[in-house]
Amino acid sequence: MKKQFLIFPSVLFLSILLIFLYLLIIDRNPTELPSTLLNKKVPKFESESLFKEKKFVSSDVFGEKIKLVNFFATWCKPCRDEHSYVKRFSNQEGIEVIGINYKDNSQKTISWLKELGNPYSNIAVDKNGRIAIDWGVYGIPETFVVNSKGIIKYRHVGPITKKIYKKINLIISEIE
Amino acid sequence: MAPYLGNFLLWLSLFFAISQFFVSKKNKKSKFITISVIGLLISSLFSFFLLMYSHVVSDFSVLNVFQNSHTTKPLLYKISGTWGNHEGSMLLWILVLTIFNYFIFKLYNEKNSIFVSKALETQAFITIGFILFTVFTSNPFETINFAQADGLGFNPILQDPALAIHPPLLYIGYVGFSAAFSISIAVLTLENNEKISWSSYMKPFVVAAWTFLTIGIAFGSVWAYYELGWGGWWFWDPVENASLMPWLLGTALLHSLITVDKKKSLQSWVLLLSILAFLLSVLGTFLVRSGILTSVHTFALDPSRGIYILAFTAILGGYSLILFGLKSKKYFNNNYFSFFSKEGSILINNILMVVVCSSIFLGTIYPLLVEAFTNNKISVGEPYYNSTVVPIMIPAILIMGIGPILSWGKGDMLKTFKKIFPSILLTLIITLFIFLFYQSYSLIGVVGVVLAIWIISNNTIILFQKRSNLSNGMIVAHLGIGLLILGITGSSVWQEEKIIQMKVNNEAKIKEYNIVFKKINEIKGPNYFALQGDFFVYDKNKNIITNLQPENRFYPVTNSFTTEVSIHTNLLRDLYIVLGEGNLNDGWIVRIYYNPLVVWIWIGALTIFLGGLISMNNNLKKLKYSS
């Protein structure tokens, strides 16, 4: 009678390892966080616009087209790494990229964009990080996909890599 | 030169480990075993020091140094940088394995050669597994061809004295359980070992592992408290849990080993615990290194490493647990004993520790299970752990107060009550006194204080009575637990937090203290720049207590910011200030914490460590005497 329950630890242990194996080999990203804003309207906010004369008003900007919202800063190295992908998005038809310049120096940002190229159709200045709080930003860079009705459809935490670039494109083609 | 030699020595240690594995199959002590064991120890030791040398002299032709170091880094962190990264820490892990391997080898005497050889064979197998892993997936001696002027820098958050020694201490703990594991395997595979007192072999290793694990976890906590600046010292992070689980099983193991020694009962239980304690240690490494869980400790995300460790854990775990399932029957006995006895109290302690460990395990892997089966993401946080761990620990601690003074066999209730009466009285008086004085009541606070005083008074009384039948190490360690509970209760129940925006010359009040923001300085450190807030703390009589200077540091090499907490400590409370974001016009976000009794957590942990060392010494003496 005893024999059966003595084997129980090994069965339990190995089945836990099997689950770990499954999680290890499926294509998963542990840093991917579901946003509570998913399928909700973009938060309303107003701030300075980096290049344009008039204020950045969120309700004027979202809607009509599919928008990518990219939180970035010049002091963040991964932001520099993902910049080429952000540019590729802005060159695509029907997509505009909105930049949110997080806790940064505006002069530095302007020269940074001169050096690397400016992919953003509009840039909101988030000096004190208030906008990032409203969007539930976890750490920059962070990118949101907003559909033509101003509803957030996807969120990615961390730099855009080749894989993520493809994934975001897939999501864009789905919501079109 | 150094990296090539280091790499060669790493391969050499692989060779010695393999040779130890095969020659120990001969089941007797031979000069080949001696050569393998000593060769393994020396080659891994030198290999480790060569990596350290490369870090100290900033040899940027080594990829590991280039990625994790920088010329401007202070010497202490150049040294600790050796194990502050994944590859180097694996080398440390191997070194500790070989040190324990050497101590198993030292157990040899005329009668036990078959047994010790078997344990050495298992230990060699474990060592081979880890060396192969290091050599093929995480070789610290990898070089880069083109010359590099300077390194990429070391994560500034890891540049902290407590964290510099945290990994070595922790690894002695984790890896120490490997020796207990190897001894268990020897017990289970060999048929005729009635004459071998394996429990007394296992005990010094378990005591050592447990003692160092305790202090290692404590240093990790100290680091979190001083460096992260979140005001707390424990966050139920998956990696903290990964270290706590082997500690809990180790606690159970330590106590049940005493029962095996004295009563020959709980043998199969001890074998299972020693296997599980090591498996959980390895599994902890897996969780950290594979990136399967996100935590502050996550090193590099590399799936091939994860698969390797997982496969290795499966081999170790599958083999040992199936072996246990088939062979442990022999050690299973139904010697029922009275609950009101020392062995009874130890058994209850064991059950409770294992239950706590299981609930932490469940909480840690639950998000993974949910994700695997439903694709949803959830996280399990503090409320879960507080409501599962705390209620189970309360009876465990109550029993801890009586357990040591109960006698083996059947205890006499009246006699025991007479013995513990002074401490019951003392507990009541001190507790009443404390609450009359502070007038701050909360159920969990009262329970915590009562438990702490109960353990402290009990063990202090025993310590002064100098009972020869009780081990001093145990009493001191138990006393440490009492102090630890006092600190944990105080800091978690009566903590106060204030987050405010302050301009220069503003004041803030927390408890009876008045804190004035005097000025802000710009300072320059060896490898960082910082903004330093200057705060004066006054008590209610307007006397100045201290001057606190929290910093906001910028490390240009890694382009990162850290906060340096400033703390004023006394025996009753910590005042803890963090300088957040801000500027001269709007002021700075300042977080002020009033953390009662935190220092007793550290004192408690050090006391436990001391008790562990005393007990280690006693067990080693006993072992020498008996052999």
| Res B494 pLDDT > 70 | yes
The residue in chain B having the minimum alpha-carbon distance to the alpha carbon of residue A129 is: B581
Do A47 and A56 touch, CB atoms closer than 8 A? yes
Check residue B300 and give its pLDDT.
46
Res. A87: pLDDT tops 60 = yes
Among A3, A16, A33, the residue with its CB nearest the CB of B365 is A16
State the pLDDT at residue B165. 92
- Judged by DSSP in three states, B518 sits in strand
Q: State yes or no: pLDDT of B312 exceeds 60.
A: yes
ipTM over 0.90: no
Domain boundary assignment for chain A = 29-175
Is pLDDT above 80 for B149?
A: no
Number of neighbours of residue B537 by Cβ within 10 angstroms: 19
Q: What is the pLDDT of residues B396-440, one digit of tens each?
A: 999 888 888 888 877 778 888 888 888 888 899 988 888 887 777
pLDDT digits (tens, 9 = 90+) for B28-37: 888 999 999 9
| 8 Å CB contact between B231 and B567 | no
Q: How far apart are CA A89 and CA A120, in angstroms?
A: 10
pLDDT at A131 over 90: no
B291 touches A at CB < 8 Å: yes
Residue B455 and residue B598 in contact, taking contact as beta carbons nearer than 8 Å: no
**Residue B255 CB-density burial (10 A; 0-12 exposed, 13-18 middle, 19+ buried):** buried
Beta bridge partners of B523: B530
Q: Which two tokens stand for residue B278?
A: 């090591």
Give A19's contacts in chain B (Cβ within 8 Å): 365, 368-369, 372
Q: Which of A59, A133, A136 is nearest to A98 (CA)?
A: A59
Whole-number Å distance between alpha carbons of B597 and B594: 10
Question: pLDDT category, B532, cuts 50, 70, 90?
Answer: very high
**Helix (H), strand (E) at residue A136:** none
In this structure, are residues A101 and A118 in contact, taking their beta carbons and an 8 Å threshold? no
Q: A24–B292: do the CB atoms touch at under 8 Å?
A: yes
Written as six digits, the tokens of B418 are 């007479």
**Subunit contact B324:A8, Cβ cutoff 8 A:** no
Selected residue with higher pLDDT from A66 and B317: B317
Q: Note whether B443 contacts A: Cβ–Cβ < 8 A.
A: no
Chain A interface test: which of B279, B371, B554 (most A C-beta within 10 Å): B371
Q: Which residue has the higher pLDDT, B131 or B85?
A: B131
What's residue B297's pLDDT?
53
Tell me the C-alpha distance between A14 and B557, whole Å: 44
| Average pLDDT of every residue of chain A | 83
In chain B, the residue whose alpha carbon lies closest to the alpha carbon of A26 is B372
- Higher-pLDDT residue of B218 and B333 is B218
Inter-chain contact A6–B324, Cβ cutoff 8 Å?
yes
Cβ contacts below 8 Å, chain A against chain B, sum to 79
Tell me if chain B has a CB within 8 Å of the CB of A77.
Answer: yes
Of B293, B324, B586, the CB nearest to A30: B293
Tokens of B220: 């990790």
Does an H or E element contain B577, and which? Answer: strand B573-583
- Asked if A166 is an interface residue toward chain B (Cβ–Cβ < 8 A), one would say no
B255-311 confidence digits (pLDDT tens): 999 888 887 778 889 999 999 999 999 988 777 777 676 655 555 456 677 788 889
State the DSSP H helix or E strand holding residue B44, giving kind and residue range, or none if neither.
helix B31-56
Q: Is B309 on the interface with A (CB under 8 A)?
A: no
* CA distances, B554 to each of B160, B225, B569 (Å): 15, 20, 26
pLDDT, position A53: 73
Q: A109 φ, ψ to 5°? A: -60, -40
Question: Residue A152 is encoded by which pair of tokens?
Answer: 């957030």
In chain B, residues 568-627 whose CB comes closer than 8 Å to chain A: 581, 586
Of residues B111 and A29, the one with the higher pLDDT is B111
What is the structure's pLDDT at B403?
86
Angle among Cα B297, B244, B445 to the nearest 5 degrees reads: 110
Give yes or no for residue B182 having a pLDDT over 90. yes
**Counting Cβ atoms within 10 Å, is residue B418 exposed (0-12), middle (13-18) or buried (19+)?**
exposed
Q: Span A6-18, mean pLDDT? A: 89
Is the domain A29-175 a CATH 3.40.30.10 member? yes
Look at residue A172 in the predicted model and tell me its pLDDT. 87
Q: Using 50, 70 and 90 to split pLDDT, how confident is the model at B251? A: very high
Distances (CA, A) of B100 to B128, B181, B196, B395, B520: 14, 12, 20, 35, 51
Q: Which of residues 21-60 of A touch B (CB under 8 A)?
A: 21-25, 28, 30-34
Q: Is B587 in a helix, a strand, or coil?
A: strand
Taking an 8 Å cut-off on Cβ atoms, the answer to whether B332 and A2 are in contact is yes
- B360 min Cα distance to partner chain A (Å): 15
In this predicted structure, what is the pLDDT of residue B358? 94
Interface contact A10-B314, CB threshold 8 A: no
In the DSSP assignment, the letter for residue A49 is B
Position B64 scores a pLDDT of 87
Residue B209: the pLDDT is 97
At B354, the amino acid letter reads V
- Rounded to whole angstroms, the Cα distance separating B50 from B213 reads 26
User: How far B335 CA sits from the closest chain A CA (Å)?
Assistant: 15
- Express each pLDDT in B290-301 by its tens digit: 767 665 555 545
Please check the confidence at residue B7 and state whether its pLDDT lies above 50.
yes
Contacts of B214 (CB under 8 A, 6+ apart): B173, B247, B605, B608, B609, B612
pLDDT above 70: percentage of residues in chain A: 93
Look at A9 and B272 and tell me if their CB atoms are within 8 Å.
Answer: yes
Q: What is the largest CA-CA distance in chain A?
A: 83
Does residue A1 surpass a pLDDT of 50? no
* Distance in angstroms (rounded) separating the CA atoms of residues B560 and B551: 14
3-state helix, strand, coil in chain A (%, to 5): 40, 25, 35
- Find out whether B475 and B614 touch, Cβ atoms under 8 Å: no
Q: Is A43 helix (H, G, I), strand (E, B) or coil?
A: coil
Query: What SS3 state is found at B456?
Result: helix
Residue B301 is predicted with a pLDDT of: 52
Mutate to test the interface with B, among A4, A7, A17 (most CBs of B within 10 A): A17
In sequence order, what are the residues at sequence separation of 6 or more whose Cβ sits closer than 8 angstroms to the Cβ of residue B227? B157, B160, B162, B163, B562, B564, B565
Q: Which amino acid is at B449?
A: V
Rounded Cα distance between B235 and B247, Å, is: 17
Q: How does pLDDT run across B90-110, given as a tens digit for each residue? A: 999 999 999 999 999 999 988
The string of DSSP letters for B248-312 reads HHHHHHHHHHHHHHHHS-SHHHHHHHHHHHHHHHHHHHHHHHS-SS--TT-----HHHHHHHHHH
| Average pLDDT estimate for B538-549 | 92
In chain A, where does DSSP find H-type helix?
Answer: 2-6, 8-25, 58-61, 77-91, 106-116, 130-134, 162-175
DSSP B110-122: SS-HHHHHHHHHH
Q: Which residues of B touch A21 (CB under 8 A)?
A: 307, 310
What gap in Å lies between CA A68 and CA A172, rounded to an integer?
A: 10
Interface probe for B, chosen from A6, A26, A79 (most Cβ of B below 10 Å), is A6
SS3 for A7? coil
Residue B11 neighbours by CB distance under 10 Å = 15
Mean pLDDT of chain B: 88
Cβ-proximal residues to A64 (8 Å cutoff; 6+ apart), any chain = A148
Q: Are B168 and B306 in contact (CB under 8 A)?
A: no
Is the four-CA dihedral A73, A76, A78, A83 of positive or negative sign?
positive
Of A2, A23, A32, the CB nearest to B292: A23
On chain B, the residues whose CB falls within 8 A of the CB of A161 are none
pLDDT of residue A107: 84
Statement: residue B335 has pLDDT above 70: no
Share of chain A above pLDDT 90, in %: 14
Contact B329 A2 (CB under 8 A): yes
pLDDT (0 to 100) of residue B147: 67
Per CB-CB distance under 8 Å, the chain B contacts of A9 are 272, 276, 321, 324-325
Query: Minimum mean pLDDT among A19-28, B203-212, B578-587, B603-612: which range?
Result: A19-28
Closest approach of A64 to chain B, Cα-based (Å) = 31
Spatial separation of the C-alpha atoms in residues B605 and B308, rounded to whole Å: 35
Q: Which of B249, B315, B322, B358 to mutate to test the interface with A (most CBs of A within 10 A)?
A: B322
pLDDT at B369: 85
A139 touches chain B (CB under 8 A): no
Domain-wise residue ranges, chain B: 1-159, 162-407, 496-599
Q: Is the pLDDT of residue B188 over 80?
A: yes
Q: What share of chain B is helix, strand, coil (3-state, %, to 5)?
A: 65, 10, 25
Cα distance between residue B201 and residue B440, in whole Å: 49
Assess B364–A contact: CB distance below 8 Å, yes or no.
no
Does residue B198 contact residue B185 with C-beta atoms inside 8 Å? no
CA-based max dimension of chain B: 80
Residue the block writes with tokens 């394995």? B97
Q: Per residue in B53-102, pLDDT tens? A: 999 999 888 888 888 888 888 899 999 999 988 899 999 999 999 999 99
Quick one: residue A103, left, alpha or beta (phi over 0 = left, psi -120 to 50 = alpha)? Answer: left
Residues B539-567 have a mean pLDDT of 88
Q: Going edge to edge, which strands form the sheet with A95-102?
A: A122-126, A95-102, A66-72, A142-146, A152-157
**Mind listing the pLDDT tens digit for each residue in B577-611?**
999 877 888 888 899 999 999 999 999 999 999 99
| CA A136 vs CA A48, A129, A133, B295, B430: distances in Å | 20, 11, 5, 19, 48
Count CB atoms within 10 A of the CB of residue B25. Answer: 12
Which H, E and C letters describe B174-197, residue by residue? Answer: HHHHHHHHHHHHHHHHCCCCCCCC
From the CA of A136, how many Å to the nearest CA of chain B? 16
Cβ distance of B332 and A6 shorter than 8 Å:
yes
CA distances from A117 to A80, A95, A110, A114 (A): 11, 17, 10, 5
Segment A13-31 shows an average pLDDT of 78
Average pLDDT for residues B134-142, to the nearest whole number?
A: 92
pLDDT over 70 (residue B183)? yes
pTM higher than the cut 0.90: no
Yes or no, beta carbons of B321 and A28 under 8 Å apart: no
Of B307, B322, B328, which is closest to A24 when you measure between CB atoms?
B307
Whether the per-residue pLDDT at A33 is higher than 70: the answer is: no
Q: Does A138 touch chain B (CB under 8 A)?
A: no
Contact B547, B535 (CB under 8 A): yes
